[in-house]
Chain A
Amino acid sequence: MTAPSVARPRRLFPRRSGLAWRRARWGYVFIAPWVIGFLLFTLFPMVATLAFTFTNINLGQEDPLRFVGLKNYETLVSDKQTWDSLIVTFKYALLALPIAVALPLLVALMLHSRHLKGSSAFRILFYLPYVIPFIAGVLIWGGMLSNESGWLNDALRALGIDHPPDWLQDPTWIYSGLVIMGIWGIGAGMIVYLAGLKGIPSELYDAARIDGAGAFAQIRHITIPMISPVIFYTLILACVEVLQYFLVPLVLKNGTGEPGGSTYFYNLYIYKNFFTFQNMAYGATLAWLLFGITLLITLVLFRLSRRWVYYAGEVR
């Protein structure tokens, strides 16, 4: 993110002329739609959700609405499903994150290579599934990964694997199945990586080649450090996305968490508390825990990023 007003010197309390104040007023007028929307659809609901966590609010509301202190938080600590769902989410994240970060990079490296013919056609084709409606993607991949009629297992059987995994029914393979379904989303990351790769000055490669560096040494010592900000950006977005993952299992398994609770993702549990069990207070508590976890992970990643993300032009 660029700091918006580094170009002009700023005082703590700038004295503004009449003209500057008029300009500032126009500024507020123009951003007013977002400010109003932020108050109505973000800040107010967030505060209300926080307030819910200290009450017994639910949709039926048979008991009178009252303040219950930390009772919801006590429930949360002793609720086995909460921890099971968190574990499900982290198991999936462990598999999904490395692929979400590395696969688009691999494809981008391939597309960026000067040896590849017809690079722009490949770029379009690899990006294409990104615009396919999520629900259509789930139904298409559901068929593709089916044990009886899916092409993946047909191909594996043709290669001599007699009992290929039943990707979407077997609790040990389900996360791999879901990750395979997710590879249609690599488009955006790939394009961003490509832009990063194009921004690396070619002098660096020339110098490395003169020093005798091979293709892998060049990738390891030039490409990766130079695009580390892009890798970091992709990682942060992938984390936020993985923490909120639940729509695919919701559609695929009708929100049951089958097989054997392995798709009972944390967000699915929140969603069910809201819309199925209609226990708003407890759902809100779960939602704030998720917010806390997201914040924590983002902060830790930013802190760690100082060690490995290289910003050209940064003063150390």
Chain B
Amino acid sequence: MALPEATPLAPPAATRSRWRVRRRTRVAEGSRPPSLRGDGRRSFLLTLIAVVAVAAFLSPMLRAATVSIKNQDQLSLSGSPLLPSDPVTFPYQGKDLPLFKVPIDGTVKELALLEPGRQHSTFVDPAAPDGPPIEWQGSWRTLEHVFVLAPHFDNFAKVWDLIDYPRLLFNTVVLAIISTIGTLLSCTLVAYGFARFDFPGRGLLFTLLIATIFLPGAVTIIPTYTMFVKLGWVGTWLPLLVPTFFANAFDVFLMRQFFMTLPRELDEAASIDGAGPLRILRSIILPQSIPVVVAVGVFHLVYSWNDFFEPLIYLSTKPELQPLAVGLARFNGIHSREPGLIQAGTLMTLVVPVLLFVIFQRAFTRGVVITGVDK
């Protein structure tokens, strides 16, 4: 018997037939009196709404990106433009004078401030610096600065050094990789056990496994923490890594649901040929399960990358061992008055999970569907 090709996560037959039904309806619709113009307008309107919604939804990211390339000088000036810009200055007799938009003689002129005053100020016209200084009545503080577009990418370089980015990145990557290996190993074995073997108490144990999803972390955290203190593991990576080798409910459920959709005939044939359960897992089950293994792997990588609370409590005394998420929170505590640096650090923290998502987005959406719908 030939091996069937890798199956998508949902039972393939069902998906395919449903799709065919949909196609048939489309054809049927086509044969009705067409109201194409109304349809076109509806499409345009709905797509427009979707574009506006998604733009609003993602606009905080755009804001973070623009702030991350702004200079601290600009961020501390009120009324500064949306895009990264610098206030313009004019060199005059060895000094750099700030340029303002001054309403004068019915027009607005860009003038350099020579002598600021509360009632009236003196300006120099950069177009005619040798001419007489211009007197202007009113408070210069009400005037707007003149800006010129100037992105500052040095925020990223500053953050790189200030939070010791290479160190934090290394910690995050190693933690994510080891815990993903632990999760994949343990969850595959446990899911295989639940999916393929009949043993007394299986239903009860599986219900118990699912129930742990609903258990508030607060009822287990203190004894667990105390246990790790007694073992001398607090201040090391072990409390973050060791538990991943004991499987978790979400990923076991995901893999078990997938294994259940694989035909048993191949297992049985291999078993008759003398293959043991481990051999069957390795040579029959796993080769058919690439999609679910990728889904769980990517899920756990991102989960580990984003985890905040556990590294926070177990590594609070060891900044040199912390992952990026905790390092970023610490950085925010110190530099919260410098939004340019904070947002640069934020982007440097989210770039890897976002890239992983863009590359593996199919694995993500499939994985969510199978955990969600079958429950």
User: Which A residue's beta carbon lies closest to that of B51?
Assistant: A122
A34-B209, A34-B247, A122-B54 are known contacts. Are A41 and B220 too (CB-CB below 8 A)?
yes
Of the residues B63, B215, B225, contact of A144 by C-beta under 8 Å: B63
Residues of A within 8 A of B57 (CB): 125-126, 129, 183-184
A220 close to chain B: CB less than 8 A = no
Q: Which residue of B lies closest to A198 (CB)?
A: B18
Given the known inter-chain contacts A28-B199, A188-B368, please indicate yes or no for A116 contacting B43, CB distance below 8 A.
yes
For B46, the chain A residues whose CB sits under 8 A away are 110, 113, 115-116
Interchain CB contact under 8 A, B194 and A288: no
The smallest beta-carbon distance between A33 and chain B, in angstroms, is 4
A87-131 contacts to B (CB < 8 Å)? 107, 110-111, 113, 115-118, 122-129, 131
- Of the candidates A133, A144, A192, the one whose C-beta lies within 8 Å of that of B372 is A192
Q: Are B63 and A133 in contact (CB under 8 A)?
A: no
Contacts of B284 in A (CB 8 A): none
Given contacts A140-B60, A188-B372, A233-B375, contact A49 B306 (CB under 8 A): no
B143 within 8 A of A: no
* Contact for A247 among B197, B309, B333, CB less than 8 A: B309
CB distance from B265 to the nearest CB of A (A): 14
Binary CB contact string for chain A from 181 to 221 against chain B (1 if under 8 A, 0 otherwise): 00110011001101110110111001000000000000000
**Once bound together, how far apart are the Cα atoms of A199 and B53, in whole Å?**
26
Whether A3 sits at the interface, judged by CB under 8 Å, is yes
A144 to B58, CA, bound (A): 11
Alpha-carbon separation in the docked complex, A139 to B221 (Å): 26
Partner of A195, one of B28, B64, B369: B369
Contact between chains at A35 and B205 (CB < 8 Å) = yes
Contact A288 B189, CB 8 Å, known A125-B54, A132-B350: no
Tell whether B361 is near chain A: CB-to-CB under 8 Å.
yes
- Asked whether A139 lies within 8 Å of B372 as measured between CB atoms, the reply is no
* Residues A131 and B21 in contact, CB atoms below 8 Å apart: no
- Chain A 272-289 against B: per-residue CB contact (8 Å), 1 yes, 0 no? 001100001001101110
> Shortest beta-carbon distance, A246 to chain B, in Å?
9
- Confirm or deny: B75 has a beta carbon within 8 angstroms of a beta carbon on chain A: yes
Selected interface stretch from A18-26, A63-71, A78-86, A168-176: A18-26
B219 contacts chain A at the CB level, 8 A cutoff: yes
Q: Tell me the bound Cα distance from A20 to B75 in angstroms.
A: 72
Stretch binding the partner chain, chosen from B118-126, B152-160, B323-331: B323-331
A147 within 8 A of B: no
Asked if B332 lies at the interface with its beta carbon under 8 angstroms from chain A, I say yes
The count of residues in chain B whose C-beta lies closer than 8 Å to any C-beta of chain A is 99
Closest B-chain residue to A281, C-beta based?
B222
Q: Which of B302, B326, B349, B357 contacts A136 (CB 8 A)?
A: B349
Q: Which residue of B lies closest to A22 (CB)?
A: B277
When distances are taken between beta carbons in the complex, the residues of chain A under 8 Å from B358 are 124
- Tell me whether B54 and A27 are in contact (CB under 8 A): no
Chain B contacts of A141 at CB under 8 A? 60
Q: Is residue A251 contacting chain B, with contact meaning CB distance below 8 A?
A: yes
Distance, CA A74 to CA B152, complexed state (A)? 59
Please determine whether A143 and B221 come into contact, CB atoms closer than 8 angstroms. no
Q: Does B318 contact A (CB under 8 A)?
A: no
Query: Which residue of the partner chain, among A30, A188, A247, contacts B193 with CB atoms under 8 Å?
Result: A30
- Contact yes or no, B222 A284, CB < 8 A: yes
- Does any Cβ of B come within 8 Å of A161's Cβ? no
Q: A30-B197, A133-B350, A139-B343 are in contact. Are A1 and B60 (CB under 8 A)?
A: no
The docked-state distance in angstroms from the alpha carbon of A45 to that of B225 is 9
Bound CA–CA A173/B30 (angstroms): 50
Tell me which residues across on chain B come within 8 A of A5, comparing CB atoms.
198, 202-203
A117: chain B residues within 8 A (beta carbon):
43, 47
Return the 9 tightest CB-CB contacts between A and B, nearest first.
A37-B246, A30-B193, A27-B197, A192-B372, A48-B223, A24-B199, A45-B223, A45-B220, A27-B199
List 24 A-B pairs, Cβ < 8 Å.
A4-B203, A25-B199, A45-B227, A46-B215, A49-B220, A52-B222, A110-B49, A110-B53, A122-B50, A131-B356, A131-B357, A135-B306, A136-B328, A150-B63, A151-B60, A188-B368, A198-B18, A233-B372, A243-B216, A254-B333, A274-B221, A283-B222, A284-B219, A291-B219
Given A3-B203, A52-B223, 4 extra CB contacts under 8 A: A4-B202, A24-B198, A30-B189, A31-B193
